[in-house]
Structure 1
Amino acid sequence: MDDSLYDEFGNYIGPEIESDQDSDREEDDDRDEPEESDRAAESDGEGPSNGWLTTGASTDVDMLENQVVLAEDKKYYPTAEEVYGEDVETLVMDEDEQPLEQPIIKPVKNKKFEVGVKDSSTYVSSQFMLGLMSNPSLARNVALVGHLQHGKTVFMDMLVEQTHHMSTFDSQSEKHVRYTDTRVDEQERKISIKAVPMSLVLEDSNSKSYLCNIMDAPGHVNFSDEMTAALRLADGAVLVVDAGEGVMVNTERAIRHAIQERLPIVVVMNKVDRLITELKLPPKDAYHKLRHTLEVINNHISAASSVAGDVQVIDPVAGNVCFASGTAGWSFTLQSFAKLYGKLHGVPLEANKFASRLWGDYYYHPDTRTFKKKPPVGGGERSFVEFVLEPLYKIYSQVIGEHKKSVETTLAELGVTLSNAAYRLNVRPLLRLACSSVFGSASGFTDMLVQHIPSPRDAAVRKVDHIYTGPKDSSIYKAMTQCDSSGPLMVNITKLYPKSDCSVFDAFGRVYSGKIQTGQAVRVLGEGYSPDDEEDMTVKEVTKLWVYQARDRMPIAEALPGSWVLIEGPFCSIPCQW
């Protein structure tokens, strides 16, 4: 140590030394002055500019780690682009912008308005049905009308089961499919809301096939417009009446609507088994109940026909009354029952004469084997009670009472033999099997339609006179009254049915003349159309044609006069509104 630099007390007395602070300032100044290379890089557009730090190679890493970052500038979470990518559109919403119970991204929901069917194949081929469509004399167009819960849809199930490869009754749950209730809400409410058509090939008692276009109309009074649309397409009305309840409010309304449309009426006395199982009426009282219901129906028809002039009489002897039970799967007229009786007992008889003695005040005298107006000396029941109701009561009482031997004996007398497994079924499935085996198919119902409902060709004049407002001396009127397939195309549209996804409507109507084909350009006339003012008119192309069968659509290439057809094209631009 140099003693000249310090005094005796050890204090520094030498020349002044540069302080550490000054050296730090000089280093900072040196650091702030960019070198020539940095200045050159800046002049070339490279390196830091505007005083911002970059992550280049020349950046001091320690300086970046120690720099001060404000709280609002801190990056706590990754951005949406870093998470989802640049191609994904992101939406930023405030927390109160949307309710908590509603998700930000809604799940995909498949809206289901209609009930589907797995197998809709029929016992006859589609070619055979199309052959019947080409002959209007072999077709019958009817509307199934009546009061609410009188069994119209279940009666249709019975007809569907006899024409399709399916069972419309579940023996396990003992519930009916309700085939013509195609909507989900109809199945849930167990009530028909929309009128739905079915085209069925039914056989009469002579095994002759007919194409029966039947429209199942709702029975609720609020849906009477659906019943009106069904009657507008039909050539006859099938009035379904509950045998237990009789004539109700909408039954009267259906009679008035049918008379206003100038349609013949036939009656299906449905749920006859309610007189046995629920009301527990004796056979004699059940006969009077049925007779009184038919008298009330005739009174309403007479009152509604007072203006029209033609008064129709409903009489089982005439063959326009069908006794049925849709839940049990059986139906018959007096004529079909007479044929069945002669077939079972092997007795040669004239079915019409025997049927005429099965209703009214006729009594069977076993000693002379004749029918007379007066009962036998020892007393007796009317022929309808003795020959029809008592055997029916016997079958029901023995099946419900679970007397297997008695049921076997009774069915054997009627020419029916069931397997041992059938007797282990519950009461309702066994009743359906036994009654359907005894009475067979609905040939009596088909006979009633064929005899008392005119074909589209026979009903064309009356139908056209009622709905056509154009001149009657024109070629259009003549072609419609003759069901001329070579005449001008005339289709009366009365209903619109949505597609399965409920996106657009298809038009349903009846062909009166001409021939409608796929790919054909047609003129769609609105309600305000007139020959003088064609503003309410447009030209559309028919893209597809179907035969509408409730839950199934059978595609066809053309439709001839007298047939019902579902058309895609003229109304394809009308969206569904729900």
Structure 2
Amino acid sequence: MGDFDLDCKKVRNICILAHVDHGKTTLADHLIAGCNGAVHPKQAGKLRFMDYLDEEQRRAITMKSSSIGLKFKDYDINLIDSPGHMDFCSEVSTAARLSDGALVLVDSVEGVHIQTHAVLRQAWVEKLTPCLVLNKIDRLIYELKLTPMEAYNRLLRIVHEVNNIVSGYKSEKYLSDVDSILAGPSGVDLGDDENPEFFEDDEEDTFQPQKGNVAFVCALDGWGFCVGEFAEFYAKKFGGNVTSFKKAFWGPRYFNSKTKMIVSKKAMGGGSNIRPMFVQFVLEPLWQVYQGALEPDGGKAMLEKVIKNFNLSVLPRELQHKDPKTALQAVFSRWLPLSNTILSMVVRCMPDPIDAQSFRISRLLPKREVVDQMAGSEVFARPEHVRRCVETCDSSPEALTVAFVSKIFAVPLNLIPARGPNDEIIDTSSEEESDECFLAFARIFSGVLTMGQKINVLSALYDPLNVETTQKHLQEAEVRSLYLMMGQGLKPVASVKTGNVVAIRGLGHHILKSATLSSTKDCWPFSSLMFQVSPMLKVAIEPSDPADMGALLKGLKLLNRADPFVEVTVSSRGEHILAAAGEVHIERCIKDLREIFAKVSLELSGFQIATSAGPLCDEPMWGLAFIVEAHIRPSEVQSNELENPQQSLDQYGMFTGQVMTVVKEACRAAVLQKRPRLVEAMYFCELNTPAEYLGTMYGVLGRRRVRVVKEEMQESSPLFTVHAYLPVSESFGFADELRNKTSGSSSALLVLSHWEALMEDPFFVPKTEEEIEEFGDGSSVPQNTARKLIDAVRRRKGLPVEEKVVQHATKQRTLARKV
């Protein structure tokens, strides 16, 4: 396997996408445990193998996308686990670009959430083939106490809601209403819950269990199934057709036990006791197994019946274990093994690199518009030949090598293998600027990439038809080492064939965030990555010790290279500005600077800044226009000055510092005359909390100027879902306070929504009797919200603040004694 000589038809590149805490990393653990044995089955779901950073293990959330190669039957599967938190959405973009298919996870209890919309859109834009995985089925049994029929209706609703989202993307309706994307669809009217035939089969739906691209799983207990597995079993038992059973196991189909036929509800004669086949033959046995294993009064007869019917080899000591979960997992891991179910679905439903690249080529390398004179020329034909190599996934010996680097990531030098694929010693001590080695996370789209090969690094602005861009946007580099990524480890390889994912050493100094690699200069760069949000949260940072400024600058440079979403700039006042997606992302970046890239002590006194400063608090001005009219009276201009107008302007001091200062103050005065207002960034906030903590949660929201727009109780669940808008300036520490006040029972997800004007006048002075009674007599500046925000920002920036300060106060004394 060292040289990836396998046929591309036996390769699958997939990523796991989901909302935060919906079970991505737990699922990845079980897939790894079921394939290459890097994770013991008993540790799957607890080890979090793909979360290789200490911070990821501590917070129990994924922050960096990571890859691992799995061997399933005779297939090679490159699995990429991605974060679910919105602050790390850039990692989702990098994972999606290198993949051909996506496992979209949805929690069957929580349902579709805001990040589910985002990852479905990411998969749609990148032209990935998705499969739907409905996770945490066990919570419907022992947590919500749903009956099989109630659980079926809930699963039916989730599948149709996800299909509605994808249908909206297909029709491009999501472009017309941004708010509906953020808040999510209002849902589907199911009508009577006891009338499942409300839904008819729609061949246009993306996800259909009968097609085999929907899996029902419990990643924590390690089991899962597609309807095809039950269809094969019951087709053998009743002597029917497997295809007919597959179609019947989802939707309004019923089994007539007398005639042994699949019929409609009308043919069954109605009645409240009849159940759809999915409920009768799939969910009810699952419920009985859980009840038999977990309930105190539940007998073991159901477990023994399942073991006998499906010919399972379960040890008696596992069934008699004092922990009922052990018996349950022992039966399910042999009856419905999770890894076999998911990877079989991947092989069956997701395309190989050859089919995928022919479909995705319009996204990867869109056709370029050129002038008619170039359309038929050889200069234009050469890049088009490269494009065809990518489209056909050409792996012939004469094929051109084309690859795409989605991100650069840092690995400690001591984790880099000291020996190459042929057991040769590799020295990396003199190649890096720090204790970190930068590797390129890449996918080979054409040809073969070999160790020691010279390669062209193309930036996004490179144009093969324009010679002038060669020097600016093209560099030549050498591939020093190639590694197969194994989650927390690296395996050296000598070469990588088209259609595979690999880590490349030797390109760290030549790539900023992402790039296209090509063995020829006649190649168009791949299209840029699409990010769900922009890095809008900015902080100014500086070292505690000014002597560490050099180390900080070096660390910022390395961080900017390693993180695909970070923006590092220098303001006009000389401050070093770090822009990220949100508070958690900022914390991750500062931690990387302190412990990896800079290793200096930094001062997170972060405040929002911009390139220009307004008169209120030196923040960016927005929504304004200045009209400047220059006047020079002819009587004051001599004839020789008209011949040399630049000399005339210099003589009159039009561009001197004094005049620039006057113009600046004039502009600031003009803004103040037009009654300026503050404009603050707003987060869309999705909160989930139990009913007993609802009042406590509203108390936390009230202290942070939150505007609630929607509140609803999740069906068949004790959780309330609240949608609200939260000012970004009030978001620092919000998640921690919410968890502390609600004992960890409430969670919040924040995503940038819009910019909103604060309509309060910061210079308001009460004049009428009613205003004086409410705000005071006007002897001091009214402390409304806008004024408080301005004063707070000005104090942080060291700007003057209008306030009364008593310096020498004395208490009035009297000699009178009152009895």
| TM-score normalised to structure 1 length | 0.72
- Please state if 1:480 is matched with 2:390: yes
Match of 2:288 in 1: 394
Letter in 2 for 1:492: F
Superposed CA offset, 1:399-424 (max 9, x none): 10255642334433332242232121
Superposed CA offset, 1:438-466 (max 9, x none): 11353332332233322110121232221
- Please state if 1:418 is matched with 2:314: yes
Superposed CA offset, 1:487-546 (max 9, x none): 211110002222234612100111111210001111122334333312232222111111
Match of 1:229 in 2: 94
Match of 1:333 in 2: 226
- Please state if 1:567 is matched with 2:495: no
Match of 1:267 in 2: 132
Match of 1:453 in 2: 350
Match of 1:443 in 2: 340
Instruction: Give SS of 1:454's match.
Output: coil
Instruction: Give me the whole-angstrom Cα distance separating, in 1, the residues matched to 2:260 and 2:234.
Output: 16
Instruction: Give SS of 1:294's match.
Output: helix
Match of 1:382 in 2: 276
The one of 449, 474, 477 aligned to 1:540:
477
- Please state if 1:241 is matched with 2:106: yes
CA contact (8 A) 2:25 2:45 kept: no
Match of 1:314 in 2: 207
- Give matches, 1:291-370, under 5 Å: 291-307=156-172, 312-341=205-234, 345=237, 348-370=239-261
Instruction: Give me the whole-angstrom Cα distance separating, in 2, the residues matched to 1:563 and 1:573.
Output: 22
Instruction: Give me the whole-angstrom Cα distance separating, in 1, the residues matched to 2:71 and 2:89.
Output: 28
Instruction: Give me the whole-angstrom Cα distance separating, in 1, the residues matched to 2:344 and 2:315.
Output: 31
- Please state if 1:521 is matched with 2:391: no
Instruction: Give me the whole-angstrom Cα distance separating, in 1, the residues matched to 2:204 and 2:274.
Output: 35
Query: Please, which moves more after superposition, 463-472 or 546-555?
Result: 463-472
CA contact (8 A) 1:141 1:235 kept: yes
Instruction: Give me the whole-angstrom Cα distance separating, in 2, the residues matched to 1:170 and 1:448.
Output: 23
Superposed CA offset, 1:425-450 (max 9, x none): 52333322211111135333233223
- Give matches, 1:56-95, under 5 Å: none
Mark the CA change 1:283 to 1:234 in structure 2 (over 3 Å): closer, same or farther.
same
CA contact (8 A) 1:504 1:572 kept: no
Instruction: Give me the whole-angstrom Cα distance separating, in 1, the residues matched to 2:207 and 2:135.
Output: 15
Instruction: Give SS of 1:484's match.
Output: coil
* Identity fraction in percent: 28
Instruction: Give SS of 2:457's match.
Output: strand
- Give matches, 1:1-20, under 5 Å: none
Instruction: Give me the whole-angstrom Cα distance separating, in 1, the residues matched to 2:367 and 2:281.
Output: 54
Mark the CA change 1:308 to 1:335 in structure 2 (over 3 Å): closer, same or farther.
farther
The one of 443, 449, 455 aligned to 1:510:
443
TM-fit CA distance, 1:275: 0.6
Query: Please, which moves more after superposition, 144-153 or 482-491?
Result: 482-491
CA contact (8 A) 2:451 2:494 kept: yes
Match of 2:770 in 1: none
- Please state if 1:491 is matched with 2:403: yes
Mark the CA change 1:428 to 1:265 in structure 2 (over 3 Å): closer, same or farther.
same
Query: Please, which moves more after superposition, 564-573 or 402-411?
Result: 402-411
Letter in 2 for 1:198: I
Instruction: Give me the whole-angstrom Cα distance separating, in 1, the residues matched to 2:72 and 2:173.
Output: 32
TM-fit CA distance, 1:170: 4.6
Instruction: Give me the whole-angstrom Cα distance separating, in 2, the residues matched to 1:432 and 1:405.
Output: 14
TM-fit CA distance, 1:230: 1.1
Instruction: Give me the whole-angstrom Cα distance separating, in 2, the residues matched to 1:481 and 1:426.
Output: 54
The one of 124, 128, 137 aligned to 2:9:
137
Match of 2:51 in 1: 181
Letter in 1 for 2:215: C
CA contact (8 A) 1:264 1:312 kept: no
Mark the CA change 1:421 to 1:544 in structure 2 (over 3 Å): closer, same or farther.
same
CA contact (8 A) 2:36 2:70 kept: no
The one of 248, 254, 260 aligned to 2:119:
254
Instruction: Give me the whole-angstrom Cα distance separating, in 2, the residues matched to 1:361 and 1:408.
Output: 31
Instruction: Give me the whole-angstrom Cα distance separating, in 1, the residues matched to 2:232 and 2:447.
Output: 41
Letter in 2 for 1:354: F
Query: Please, which moves more after superposition, 549-558 or 420-429?
Result: 420-429
- Give matches, 1:36-75, under 5 Å: none
Mark the CA change 1:330 to 1:342 in structure 2 (over 3 Å): closer, same or farther.
farther
Match of 1:8 in 2: none
Instruction: Give SS of 2:354's match.
Output: coil
CA contact (8 A) 1:235 1:263 kept: yes
Match of 1:19 in 2: none
TM-fit CA distance, 1:573: 7.4
Mark the CA change 1:431 to 1:495 in structure 2 (over 3 Å): closer, same or farther.
farther
TM-fit CA distance, 1:159: 0.6
Mark the CA change 1:187 to 1:429 in structure 2 (over 3 Å): closer, same or farther.
farther
Instruction: Give SS of 1:390's match.
Output: helix
Letter in 1 for 2:112: V
Query: Please, which moves more after superposition, 533-542 or 408-417?
Result: 408-417
CA contact (8 A) 1:332 1:442 kept: no
TM-fit CA distance, 1:468: 1.6
TM-fit CA distance, 1:470: 6.4
Letter in 2 for 1:314: F
CA contact (8 A) 2:45 2:220 kept: no
Instruction: Give me the whole-angstrom Cα distance separating, in 1, the residues matched to 2:412 and 2:324.
Output: 37
Unmatched tracts of structure 2, length 5 or more: 175-202, 369-379, 414-434, 512-554, 560-591, 593-819
Mark the CA change 1:553 to 1:334 in structure 2 (over 3 Å): closer, same or farther.
same
| TM-score normalised to structure 2 length | 0.51
The one of 31, 34, 37 aligned to 1:159:
31
Instruction: Give me the whole-angstrom Cα distance separating, in 1, the residues matched to 2:411 and 2:233.
Output: 44
Match of 1:554 in 2: 491
Instruction: Give SS of 2:311's match.
Output: coil
TM-fit CA distance, 1:336: 2.3
Instruction: Give me the whole-angstrom Cα distance separating, in 1, the residues matched to 2:169 and 2:107.
Output: 21
Count of residues in Structure 1 that have an aligned counterpart in Structure 2: 441
Mark the CA change 1:157 to 1:284 in structure 2 (over 3 Å): closer, same or farther.
same
CA contact (8 A) 2:484 2:493 kept: yes
Instruction: Give me the whole-angstrom Cα distance separating, in 1, the residues matched to 2:480 and 2:239.
Output: 56
Mark the CA change 1:513 to 1:272 in structure 2 (over 3 Å): closer, same or farther.
same
Letter in 2 for 1:487: A
Mark the CA change 1:166 to 1:446 in structure 2 (over 3 Å): closer, same or farther.
closer
Unmatched tracts of structure 1, length 5 or more: 1-125, 204-208
Instruction: Give SS of 1:181's match.
Output: coil
CA contact (8 A) 2:39 2:49 kept: no
Mark the CA change 1:508 to 1:239 in structure 2 (over 3 Å): closer, same or farther.
same
The one of 255, 262, 270 aligned to 1:371:
262
Instruction: Give me the whole-angstrom Cα distance separating, in 2, the residues matched to 1:411 and 1:461.
Output: 45
TM-fit CA distance, 1:169: 5.3
- C-alpha RMSD over aligned residues: 2.5
Instruction: Give me the whole-angstrom Cα distance separating, in 1, the residues matched to 2:69 and 2:112.
Output: 28
TM-fit CA distance, 1:301: 0.6
Match of 2:551 in 1: none
Instruction: Give SS of 2:460's match.
Output: coil
